[in-house]
Every structure is written in C-alpha cells, then in structure tokens.
A and B are shown apart, each in its own frame.
Chain A
Amino acid sequence: MHGLVNRAIECFLRDTYGVQCWARIADAAGVDPDGFETMLLYDDSVTLSVIAAASRALGKPEEDLLEDLGIYLVSHPERARLRRLMRFGGVGFEDFLHSLDDLRERGRLAVPDLDLPDLELRDEGDGRFSVTCRSRHAGFGAVLAGVLQSMADEYGALIMIERGPPVDAVTRIDISLLDRSHAAGRRFELAGDARETGAQ
C-alpha cells in the first residue's frame, strides 16, 4: 500500500483519538509509532493490521472506522491540501460527482504509483446517482462514502448516502442529492494562497 494511504490512516487515528491511542494501536499492529513515510511503499498486510488493531482498540467495526477516515480526510483542518485537490473536480457538487470517473487518473497524475480505486458514476436521474467503487481492497468503498459526505458539506449540498456491502471488493454507493445549495459551502480560490495550501 502506498505510504500516503498508511499515513492518512495514522494521521486520522492520531488527530481523532490522540497520540497515546495511536501509539497503542501502532504497538498492537507491530508498526513504528513514529508512523509512516508518505513517499514510500509498504506491504498491504501492514495497512490491514493497523486497521484491524484500531478496530479492536476502539471497539468500532472496520467499515465504520474507514467511513470516519473518509470524513476526516476532507473535513479536518490539517488536511486542507487534499480537500483543495478534490475541489479541482468541479464548480458544484454535481460536477464533482462526475469528476469521480477521473479520480484514479488524477491521483496518478500527482503520484504515479498511487493505486486509487476505479470509480464509475451513474446518473440515475431525479437527483439520484450511484458510484461503483472497484479496488483491490474492499475498505476503499467505506472511505469513499465518508469522502462523499464531507465533499457535499464542502460544496454546501445536502445529500443522503446509502452504502452497500462490499462484494468481491466492489462497493456500490447510492447518493440522493436533496438540495444542491443547502448551505453556503466553503470558499475555494483556484490558485490558493500559501495559508490555505500550506497545511498538509
């Protein structure tokens, strides 16, 4: 698994549950509590054991934990950078949804060895959409559900999300767009200033 993914999990656990909790989880999973390097590659089993250890330590099902991770990735102040990159997907939430088809390629443009899931959006009409998430890892579907929820807030859209169970690492997520301008949404400057992009 790419270090960026492992590092994201690590930061999520640390920022959400505290340094000591992370240290316990790292210890249980047999990884260095100093954490992961974003630009190195790790064996997949490392990632899986961290998620399993976190789930045990926090008494929370893995899927729920991963959905929280998705929410965190877009909404936490420390992760402004990723949120900004996601915002390049489109002017409004619907544009953003349509940009999901390109997510994998966008990821590759930035980091050539980043293996993001393959997403396929279907516009079912009437403000209903479905996203099919295919990946080597079933967990990505839950993360995506959290990301979508957070991105809706980011654009000020009101949505309902239903996530199906992963079947052979394929997850289907149904989205109902109830109100595309429910709230103001966060301001987005295309060429963001240093303050906005500096946090990582």
Chain B
Amino acid sequence: MTTRGVTLDGAGLGALMPMHLGLDSAGRICSAGSTITKVCGEGELIGLPFLEVFAVQRPRGLHDAQTLAQQAVPRLRLSLLAPPGTGFKGLSVPIARGGGALVNLSFGIGVVEAVRRHGLTERDFAPTDLAIEMLYLTESKTAVQDELRNLNRRLEGARNAAEEQALSDPLTGLRNRRAMNRALARCCADGPRFALMQIDLDHFKRVNDSHGHAAGDAVLEAVARILLEETRRGDIVARIGGDEFVIIMPGIGEYAPLHRIAERLIMRLDTPIHVGEAECCVSASIGAILSSDYAAPEPDRILRDADMLLYDAKHAGRGRIVTLEQGSERRTG
C-alpha cells in the first residue's frame, strides 16, 4: 500500500500539534509549536540545538542530535534542561525530504503539574488532546474523594458514638458492665498493678420503696457524680447492676491509698442526698483487692473475690471496706 504525502504549512502543523518541534539535519530546532515555545520560556527556540534545550532520558545513550534527526524514535522521554525541568513523552519521525525530523511531545501523566506550572489554558491544547479531559477527571476525582473522606469521618463519628453508648450506662453515664469487663481484662493482660473496688449501696431498696423509683434514679445519679469526683481521670468507674458499682484504679499497688479513697467515698455517701423534698440516706459497703494480691491476676477470680469481700463488709455491719489483705473489716468514719 502506498500513501500520498500530505503537505502542511506551519500554521496547520501548529494547530494540529502545538507541542511539536521540527529539527534540521544537524539536530537544530527549525520550527516549534506555540505551546512548547510557551513552556520552554524565555527566548527564541528556533536555531537552538535540540540537546541544548532538552535532556534525553529515553532511549538511553542518545546523546547525539544527528541520530535523533535522522532516524525514527518511537518512544522518547525528555525533560527541560532549564528549571523547572518539566518532563515530556513523545516520538520522533524523520522527514522524508530534506532530512531532519519532526518531534511531537506531550506532558504525559505530569499534565496537571505542567499546566499549573506553565499557566497553560484550553487554547494551548489541540482539541484532539485529552489533556483537558484528564484535568477534568483529576479534579472531579479529587472532589469525589473528599466527599468520601467526609462520609468516612461522619461514619467514624457515628460508630464512636454508638460504641460509647454501648459501653456506658444510660442512666448515670458511667461505664457499664461490658465496659468494665473489657477494662479489667485489659488491666490483667497489660501487667501494671491496679486496685479494684466493688461497691454496693446500703439501704437503697428503702429509698426506692419510700420515695419511689424516680428518687432512686436521682440517688444513683448523685452517687455516680460522687464516685467520679472522688476518683482520678484515668480510673474506670462502672455501674454493673442496680445499685452495684465497680471502680478500677490503674497504678494503685498499696492498701494505704486504697483505704484513703474508700474511706472518703464512704464518708461522702453517708451524707444524706436530697431529692426534691425527700432526704435519702444510703451508705456504701466495699470489697476491695489489689492486683498484686495475685501471682497472675485473672478477671473472673478478682470479681469473685471482690464480691465475696463485699458480702463480708455487708455482713459485718455495712458502711465499711473489707480487703483481701486484712481479711477482716475496718470500721470507718
């Protein structure tokens, strides 16, 4: 098959390929499209040796302009020698008559950066060039990605809120039994010493019976506030049943501070709580352990022991703390 040659004038060539460069047989630039001229910046390109303007990355070892001007190069990778060193991909075909070559370039994947860097507009690209579509896609993809990131952030927030709800007691806002179990398991596994108090309100049933459940709820809320006030930020304060609470105190490894905290708690809970007109009197019995009481602290064992000590405290007359160490009760207040 033979094809007849097509003859173009400079304007036609420029419109079709605004990033073309014509080379003469010596490898000097003899014509240049408007966009590549704009990108190369200051000065006239015409007459300059091609290799004084561009560095050739591929094909490797092409350092001689005459080779470039004489043979077809199907895949070219170039960059500007001068800053900012913009990269190009392209190809070169020899011109049939008179020697020399026609090089056509594009920005390839670096188009967004190149457009920004060189201040290019739609008019700098031929309508057949997909550069504009590429920019559109880049921008729309970024917009969609931002939306998805926002969605993820909101979902994450909702998940945290749901988890927070699932781990807290709706009445008092304290942790619930699940959260306490989880925290205790973590404390046992992590190793550092901690103290655990199991607290049961004394006479709470009486409050409910004589003042009603609403008053009972108000008392539980007041008790929760006191427990939070008397503990540190990192302590885990949980309501694990009707009038039963557990406090886990990481870092406490001696009985002296444990007793001080317990005695303050018992003293404060001994003070009548006012709900409207009613004066509600409760107090607290506490069973307490230290993780250092055990060679290998284990959640079920700890809770069982704390519960047993709590029972001892109740049995011994309420309003007191019983620890594993003493095995005997200590009167407070």
Contacts and interface: CB of A to CB of B under 8 A. Distances in A.
Interface of A: 37-40, 81, 84-85, 88, 90-91, 106, 109-111, 189-193, 197, 200
B143 A85 contact: yes
B109 interface: no
Nearest to B142: A197
Classify chain B: how many residues form its interface, as a range. Answer: 20 to 34
Given A109-B137, A191-B112, A191-B116, A81 B122 contact: no
Interface string B145-170: 01110110010000000000000000
A88 B132 contact: yes
Contacts of B129: none
A191 B112 CA distance: 6
A109 B140 CA distance: 8
B115 A191 contact: yes
Given A81-B139, A109-B133, 4 more contacts: A91-B121, A109-B137, A190-B120, A190-B132
Q: Of residues A38, A40, A85, A106, which shows the largest number of chain B Cβ atoms within 10 Å of its Cβ?
A: A38
A85 B136 contact: yes
B144 interface: yes
A192 B122 contact: no
A192 B141 CA distance: 14
B135 interface: yes
Nearest to B119: A189
B148 A39 contact: yes
A38 B147 contact: yes
Nearest to B155: A37
Contact of B137 (A81, A91, A110, A193): A110
B122 to A, nearest CB: 5
A84 B121 CA distance: 14
7 contacts: A37-B151, A81-B143, A85-B143, A190-B115, A190-B122, A191-B113, A197-B143
Given A37-B154, A39-B151, A88 B136 contact: yes
The 10 closest A-B pairs by CB, nearest first: A110-B140, A191-B116, A88-B136, A191-B115, A38-B147, A91-B122, A190-B115, A39-B151, A81-B143, A191-B112
Contacts of B140: 85, 109-111
A84 B123 CA distance: 17
A114 to B, nearest CB: 10
B147 A200 contact: yes
Contacts of A193: 116
A191 B147 contact: no
Interface in B30-45: none
Nearest to A82: B143
A85 B138 CA distance: 10
Contacts of A84: 139
B151 A110 contact: no
Contacts of B144: 39, 110-111
B123 A91 contact: yes
Nearest to A111: B144
B132 A200 contact: no
B141 A110 contact: yes
